[in-house]
Chain A
Amino acid sequence: MFGIAPKRESLVAGEAQWERFEVEAMPHAASLFRIALWLTRDQTEAEDLVQETLTEALTSFHRFVQGTNCRAWLVSIMYHRQSKRRRDVTRLRLVSEAEERIAETIAFEPPTPQGLTDEEVLGALERLPPAFQEVVVLADIEEMSYKEIAAAIDVPMGTVMSRISRGRKLLRAELATYAQAHGFGRSGEQRTSEFPKNG
């Protein structure tokens, strides 16, 4: 009773839906994969998560409102799926009080260093507490608005704004400390050798 081949009408409707989906949603697959990889820290799990997300999006595509931000909608679905995956196997990832306190204590802000390498910038991002990394990735790399981030990770917008501000501040502080330790800073300043000079 249930294994009937798709009828011609449903094939036509399916093809039309796929064409829309291919144009609207599929271009965001690479972006989804980056976020999935960040969330899972595992290539295979990230691929599974992207596949689940896009499948659910395709199933629910009639609910996507044309003209709104499709990537934000997809990221929101991905977060819900990931939260479901985590629900029974890991504890919820919350911002610990200690992390909040660390962020609060950055009273002085040194000037933002320039002339950094990709590795240095990514290394500093990796060293941020996860909850701050998360919002910095979504805001500054995936270029989602504060409102879209709040909807995707399901926290109040005020919390998102506060975390983004603290996350960026922590990142700059991390890089400034690094630049100071290695003897460079603002653009134009001479970058010293990585190795101590003889004599």
Chain B
Amino acid sequence: MKCREFREIADSYLSDELIVETNHDVISHLEQCAECRRELAARRELRSKLREAFIKAPENQMQPEFTDRLSTELHEYALGKRNAPIVSPRASQSSVMLRRTSWLALAACLVLAAGFGLVLVQQRISKPQQPGNREFAGGNPTPNYSSEINPAIPVSIVKTELAKSAVGDHRDCAIHFRLAEKPIDLEVAGRKYDPVYINLTKAVLSQQADAPLDAQFVEAHSCVFEGRRFAHIVLKYHGRLVSFLVTDIGRTKEPKADAARTLVDQQPHVIACSQIDGYQVSCFATARHAIFIVSDLPEGDNLGLALALAPSVFAHITRTENAA
């Protein structure tokens, strides 16, 4: 090994990132070369100095009050005694925008926030509906409920790859933000791909406006997970992120899908539940679309949210499908 080659990999040697053979070459070279030994010692000292200076810099220290508050709030959150001690993404963005954008942009932001309504509607169903009870007081279709999968509900949907895709989208988009394709505006996607996306957010947010749920709107967009496009509305409920996902199932000509559609046509309002990869999934369907509610909430809460949102969403999607 030559000195020039050594200097190229000296840092990786210090980081223990070299393969065994190269490590051996480095050691052999160092045994013979005093100048490279000095260079290695200097780099080691620089790294140590950099680390020490950065870690002990006064501005890089956490305030003791913050440390205590963080620990206390996380502990209480773990015990379920409080909602997540979390600054909502929307609120954080607003705080950033306060510092970085003009008052005009801020005003536009506030108008948008007011338009969407940050707070959703209170659950008005105090207990789960019994199977067979399909009429809502207002005349809207009411979802049926079953705590266990039974043949009358869309098992074909909630147990399929489709539901796994919904869970994958929730995980990779809402939780980890690592989708390969950047999400696009929901209304734009509605004009381009699927008209039911248009005004879907309104259908979700206007649901039960007279009895607000303790849930927050986070964002709405359309995204693609493993080739399947979803309308994706992200909510925060009891401190957890919840994905409300709508996807088209009506365009395939596969016999199984046709059978599922027939079942759905007969039982359009049922909700099926399942657990996939540790997430709770509630699902209902219209003639051409499957709707998923995915979260890591307890099963009852996830289902309760699905039950609360289903009527207006079902009505909106069905109306749009019939008009198409």
**Chain A interface (Cβ within 8 Å of chain B)?**
1-3, 6, 10-11, 14-15, 17-18, 21-22, 26, 29-30, 33-34, 37, 43-45, 47-48, 50-52, 54-56, 58-60, 62-63, 77, 80-81, 83-85, 87-90, 109, 111-114, 116, 118-119, 121-122, 125, 136-137, 139-141, 143, 145-146, 154, 161, 164-165, 168, 171-172, 175, 186-187
CA distance A56 to B71 in the complex (A): 14
Shortest Cβ distance from A127 into chain B, in angstroms? Answer: 13
Docked CA distance A114–B12 (Å): 20
Q: B89 within 8 Å of A by Cβ?
A: yes
A199 to B126, CA, bound (A): 90
A161 to B178, CA, bound (A): 21
Determine the residue in chain B with the shortest Cβ distance to A167. B11
Determine, out of B95-103, B160-168, B198-206, B285-293, the stretch whose residues face the partner at the interface: B95-103
17 A-B pairs, CB-CB below 8 angstroms?
Answer: A2-B304, A10-B80, A11-B80, A17-B78, A34-B55, A44-B95, A45-B92, A60-B175, A80-B178, A81-B177, A85-B92, A89-B96, A111-B39, A112-B39, A119-B53, A136-B50, A172-B46
Type the 1/0 row for B19-40, where 1 means its CB is closer than 8 Å to any CB of A: 0000000000000000000110
Say whether B7 faces chain A, with CB atoms less than 8 Å apart: yes
Query: Separation in Å of the B260 CB from the closest CB of chain A?
Result: 31
State whether B17 touches A34 (Cβ < 8 A): no
**Complex: how many Å from CA A90 to CA B34?**
49
Closest Cβ of chain A: how far from B74's Cβ, in Å? 6
The smallest beta-carbon distance between B19 and chain A, in angstroms, is: 13
By a CB distance below 8 angstroms, the chain B residues around A62 are 278
In whole angstroms, what is the CA distance A87 to B219 when docked? 12
- CB A14 to nearest CB in B, in angstroms, measures 4
Q: A18 CB to closest chain B CB, in angstroms?
A: 4
| Nearest-CB residue, chain A, relative to B86 | A55
User: Which B residues touch A89, using CB under 8 A?
Assistant: 93, 96-97, 100-101
Q: Are A137 and B54 within 8 A (Cβ)?
A: yes
Whether A122 and B54, one on each chain, are in contact in the complex, defined by CB atoms closer than 8 angstroms, is yes
Considering residues B43, B61, B87, B89, which has the most beta carbons from chain A within 10 angstroms of its beta carbon?
B87
Q: How distant is the Cα of A137 from the Cα of B56 in the complex, in angstroms?
A: 14
Residues of B within 8 A of A52 (CB): 86-87, 92
Q: Please name the residue on chain A nearest to B67 by beta carbon.
A: A29
| 8 Å CB contact of B46 from A21, A87, A121 | A121
Give Cα distance in the complex from A106 to B15, angstroms.
22
- Closest B residue to A52 by beta carbon equals B86
Contact A140 B51 (CB under 8 A): yes
B42 touching A55 by the CB < 8 A rule? no
Contacts of B67 in A (CB 8 A): 29
A113:B42 contact, CB within 8 angstroms = yes
Residues of B within 8 A of A136 (CB): 50
Chain B: CB-nearest residue to A111: B39
The answer, yes or no, to whether B125 is at the interface (CB within 8 Å) is yes
User: Is B123 within 8 A of A1, CB to CB?
Assistant: yes
Closest to A46 in B: B62
Pick the contact of A18 from B38, B57, B79, B301 — CB < 8 Å?
Answer: B79
The complex places the Cα of A178 from the Cα of B247 at a distance, in Å, of 60
A33/B175 contact (C-beta < 8 A), A59-B296, A118-B49 known: no
How far, in whole Å, are A22 and B74 apart by their CA atoms in the complex?
Answer: 9
Q: Given A1-B304, A17-B78, A51-B87, list of 4 further CB < 8 A pairs?
A: A2-B301, A47-B63, A89-B97, A186-B38
User: Does chain A have a CB within 8 A of B193?
Assistant: no
Whether A58 contacts B77 in the complex (CB less than 8 A), given A26-B71, A89-B97, comes out as yes
State whether A1 and B126 are in contact (beta carbons under 8 Å apart), knowing that A121-B50, A141-B50 are contacts in the complex. yes
- Is the beta-carbon distance between A63 and B51 smaller than 8 angstroms? no
Q: Which residues of A sit under 8 angstroms from B177, Cβ to Cβ?
A: 80-81, 83-84, 87
Cβ contacts under 8 Å, B70 to chain A: 29, 50-51, 54
